[in-house]
Chain A
């Protein structure tokens, strides 16, 4: 077999905006796929609404459409482009679902489009509950027994007669399994099923055999059309069944299975993929009873998934690339193995190290969110660590995850009594691994902990090893031998010194590097992919010596670590572009990052990849091995920026903007001085380290005030404080983790927010574009709808902004990128923030203006001026298109998080609308973000705080004009009625039934406008209302500006059919 001759032009659909459960891994997969297809000479048409991705770069496909991922849009593009095939398995669930819908309604057949990668029959068998069960039964693979029932009697009868106790009850269509639970006996099942049936809107529950406590094992398998099958990797969850694998610590390969169990599951995985006839990658999840050979198939994903990205990075095997080649006709024995360059893809990687994945949860940001882990994934991102031991991988993980830890000791657990720790062990939450460690430290036995948590004893003993070495370090002499053992266990020198009580390290060791080569050293490999450990041989140094032109200068680019709210995929986009620019300029480009989901951690992105923590000591060893000419920190978000001071201390040459300038922008006093000297105003404010000081300054400034810690990204822990109580609550929360830098307090100014990304070479300052936010200041820039170019700024303000931007860039001696946020208030322009680094908006501005900002900045950092690159000073020519960036949230995945927008960023991703007309661009952006513009119900609900009442009248009027009935809570209703908008009063939650919650349940409400003076706490009515809209998938707007913009579009009655699709390669 080889390339199918009937394929010439392929449509690739991406996964859209980043949401919890579908993140950067699909940029990695999609980019690999696009490249693999073009390598074979195929024409590629790409659709993805997410502009912050590598895959939507002009050079990734022949045609690139950054358009909403809806059926209408894809149909329209298929009609225009007439591709002969569609690749369905590399764009996550979004792409798979869209592809199946297109196939089912006959559209693909009608237009002669072949579905590649997955057959509709295959997908049906894998995704339909009953079809899946039948298929598994047919090939003798056991599933977890379960039954859908609609009465308590049926539930009891099924449990009593068929499956026995315990059972899990899962109510249908309740968010995050609300109303479900585990019943250990008949009485409990009676209670839980009664409750579950009541809560389920369709009075239906699933009764399932409870297998919590079983081991969760995954296999990544690949099959080609010839029927060749291989497993790329096995993975084992640290947490037993019950915690979503995306929220579980995962190790690769599986570590507690004997060969007989391993081969049993491996064979089962291969049987399943063979029966499903998947052609490409597939993920199979198993539950394995720890005390027998019994197992059950939990789930099969017949596509490239998050786990495939992890497996791919864990082994070095390029799953997405291979899956794409299989989809277009190649077989595994024809695809060359990129690692050896000689052998073929039809082999199974074998590892000589341990890989550990640790999730990154957003709970540091959402302090009121329910942290209990379950079947709904909540992590926004993850890190991966590679070590020669489990302990080492674990310790690298805790450093990488950016919780301020360098060991498993979580400071806040110290305060708890032994009994409290025992109690905490029962909570399955994000801190459980740390609680387990603390419990072991208190002498609570492995057996006890195992009994409570069902975490395999093997893992517990490994954690006990860490407890034991910490005890030895503090109790006995720090011999060379003990020190080396601690290094093998992954402790940094700083941690060793602290834990040992300040004992001197006599012979400090630096890390050396080993290669990830898929074959455990059996063959000579060419993979420039390394991880650190403490042995004698340094493979990275040898590799560099033998593979690199000694005349080439080496530059290290530091990546951005795990994806979290506020620091997302856009920084990976920037890091990758920087590396590419460096390579193009003839430098030897090295990348260091720890995020397995990204393009930057593909081993062929840079000249060498170091998969390691982005922390002090790790970076030091890397510098010693690489001896770089320079290092780049400005593209890796705050993660890389945080390393700056340390890198300077180590003598590294920071390319671009200097460490001192970065400090000048972040240090409040220095920044104020700089602004003074430039004559640029900013909102008044001050800095504090503790609560009383904060209250004093706020009194001086007058409320409301904006509070935020310095040196953070994404407005982490940023609030608008309206009272002293707000300040006290805030300071209490923020001082829970050690405060290294002061908290900033500013006068809050309500005005238009404007954002600028500029590139400066020390002489000239190029401003590719000015963006204006739809929402006024107070809503975090990442959560605002952002419009390029700005449409409402006066010429005077515009000139002021251009002049301030240049002044600031020059004063800060920026060499490269700078992002500046302004607020225009009462005709005056104030600076809010200056970040001398790349920003969230760089990818989209690059794409729409055609200025490849990262490339230009990289060249400047290495001495090529803007003029030499053909650019001039000042504002770049306006693009022919208007681009509107709309934020996307993952509220449905998180419990108890208030959805009201504020200064703290809450969105997980974004999509872009591009059009020649403003309204069209907004419309596209909103559609892409999931806004639905079809009228389903007949009413809207409005409930706003006093300060918004005046403005909400206009919003209400617009809804009225569209024919909606207005419901409002009493205060809002009377205000509206006084202003001649007919509004019906609806009861508050406390006022009896039917109340506002019942109204939301009725299905009549299409939109909700809700704001409140005080938010966040899940106990508040306003928060409950907003959470209800999440549960009922009702569009809820929490800013008057968003609501106005959405209403204006609604009134225009737009449809995708009338709007031009834009191929951005033509821009």
Chain B
């Protein structure tokens, strides 16, 4: 694509300015700048609620090649605070494509910037750790003032901002009824459950445990979601109650972290997180390594998992961080990665079978 567009800028918390060109919406927005390394799945990334409050950088240089279609959405809208690419494609080609990424971002009011050396930016984040920044289509004239705002920014009320407001029941097959706690869930978690004969009721992330129990679910699914896990005081209290029952519980990503917190473990912020479709995870119990899809900035501290409640079942093969816990004090297992994929590999989808298996066993 030839640079016919208006200029746009990114400024990081350390004052570094990158200039590129504007696509998507115009405007200015502050967020936490993170990078995602998947080579496909940009539509899934853009609609993944876990990116709430974040400005996403794609390390793969060509974005938008196959256009946009709603089937690939993982939630109803994009919640990213900005989108950084090296090059976007204005002539996408795919039989399912309903439009290009530029129009999509405009419609979603997401500010985009292209023409950025995303590798240099990624390396910067890698070295420095996650950084706040601003993405803007305005000239940066008030640098100091803007920097102060950038530095003051924190992602707050993340789950509250993305969870649904009232329970929603999906009428499908009903071999099992599953309550899905929506902390910012990806649609494919529901689809994977439905594929396995579950009737899913999605409930707001702050729904009291009692209300969930009143629904008499066969299983409880804890979704992924954005933000600092420790911020979610109420959900953690609810999980403490739920894990005392013998209802099978399966947690993914934020759900995994919240259950760990409810069990007395600690979470920490990773330097720059894991966001991609190529993260190797070792199943310690099965002695197998799987390639997984991931998107998280926080992790459970391995050593903090109390001995009595369970054991770390999966670790990241790259950095050894906690990727899964098998609970012995309750009918619960959780993983940090995304077995529901979208985007990314489907190699760990068998975990949904295990969850269904636990419901069958009951």
Contact = CB atoms under 8 A, between A and B. Distances in A.
A444 B94 CA distance: 21
A473 to B, nearest CB: 11
Interface in A684-740: none
A266 B39 contact: no
Given A469-B2, A535-B117, A349 B278 contact: yes
A350 B277 contact: yes
Interface in A247-286: 253, 255-260, 262-263, 266-267, 270
A258 B2 contact: no
Interface in B330-362: 341-347
A458 B91 contact: yes
Interface stretch (B58-66, B141-149, B208-216): B58-66
Nearest to A332: B289
Contacts of B119: 352, 514, 520-521, 535, 537
Interface in A471-494: 472, 481, 485
Interface residues of A, number: 58
A390 B59 contact: no
Interface in B250-289: 272, 276-280, 282, 287-289
B94 A256 contact: yes
A582 B362 CA distance: 70
A76 to B, nearest CB: 42
B96 A228 contact: no
Contact of A343 (B71, B89, B272, B317): B317
Contacts of B126: 521-524
Contact of A461 (B69, B93, B347): B93
Contacts of A255: 62, 65
A21 to B, nearest CB: 29
Given A343-B317, A520-B119, A259 B62 contact: no
Nearest to A520: B59
A270 to B, nearest CB: 7
A479 to B, nearest CB: 10
A465 interface: yes
Interface in B72-129: 72, 86-87, 89, 91-96, 117-120, 122-123, 126
B60 A347 contact: no
B217 interface: no
Contact of A352 (B66, B118, B287): B118
B44 interface: yes
Contacts of A258: 40-41, 43, 66, 69, 72, 94, 96
Interface string B1-16: 1110000000000000
A255 B64 CA distance: 10
B37 interface: yes
Contact of B318 (A262, A354, A523): A523
Contact of A263 (B3, B287, B343): B343
Interface residues of B, number: 57
A335 B169 CA distance: 48
Contact of B2 (A256, A343, A351, A485): A485
B197 interface: no
Contacts of B94: 256-258
A226 B37 contact: no
Contact of A458 (B1, B61, B65): B65
B37 A259 contact: no
A347 B122 contact: no
B291 interface: yes
Interface string A152-171: 00000000000000000000
Nearest to A472: B2
A465 B287 CA distance: 49
A469 B38 CA distance: 30
A564 B280 CA distance: 40
Interface in A335-365: 343-344, 346-354
Interface in A277-315: 290-292
A1006 interface: no
Contact of A351 (B60, B288, B347): B60
A275 B276 CA distance: 27
Contact of B288 (A227, A257, A343): A227
A385 to B, nearest CB: 14
Contact of A485 (B3, B72, B117): B3
Contacts of B345: 263, 266-267, 348
A347 B345 CA distance: 12
Contacts of B61: 352-354, 388-389
A468 B2 CA distance: 9
Contact of A388 (B86, B91, B122): B86
Interface in B175-211: none
A240 to B, nearest CB: 13
B346 A263 contact: yes
A997 interface: no
A270 B93 CA distance: 26
A292 B62 contact: no
B342 A259 contact: yes
B317 A346 contact: yes
A519 B37 contact: yes
A536 B72 contact: no
A66 interface: no
Nearest to A524: B126
A323 B321 CA distance: 28
A456 interface: yes
Contacts of A290: 95
Contacts of B72: 258-260
A520 B287 CA distance: 27
A256 B276 contact: no
Contacts of A485: 2-3
Nearest to A340: B318
Contacts of A262: 40
Given A228-B288, A255-B65, A333-B317, A346 B280 contact: yes
Given A514-B119, A535-B117, A344 B280 contact: yes
B164 to A, nearest CB: 25
Contact of B66 (A257, A333, A464): A257
Nearest to A230: B291
Nearest to B343: A259
Nearest to A459: B93
A457 interface: yes
Interface string B24-68: 000000000001011111011000000000000001111001100
Contacts of A458: 65-66, 89, 91-93
A536 B291 contact: no
Contacts of B117: 535-537
A827 B287 CA distance: 76
A520 B291 contact: no
Contact of B93 (A456, A522, A523): A456
A292 B91 CA distance: 19
Contacts of B60: 350-352, 520
6 contacts: A228-B290, A258-B69, A260-B72, A260-B342, A292-B95, A457-B93
Interface of A: 226-231, 253, 255-260, 262-263, 266-267, 270, 290-292, 332-333, 343-344, 346-354, 388-390, 456-458, 461, 464-465, 468-469, 472, 481, 485, 514, 519-524, 535-537
Given A260-B72, A348-B280, A350-B59, 20 more contacts: A230-B291, A253-B39, A256-B65, A256-B93, A257-B94, A258-B96, A259-B41, A263-B40, A267-B347, A290-B95, A332-B289, A347-B280, A347-B317, A350-B277, A352-B60, A389-B87, A458-B92, A458-B93, A519-B278, A537-B120
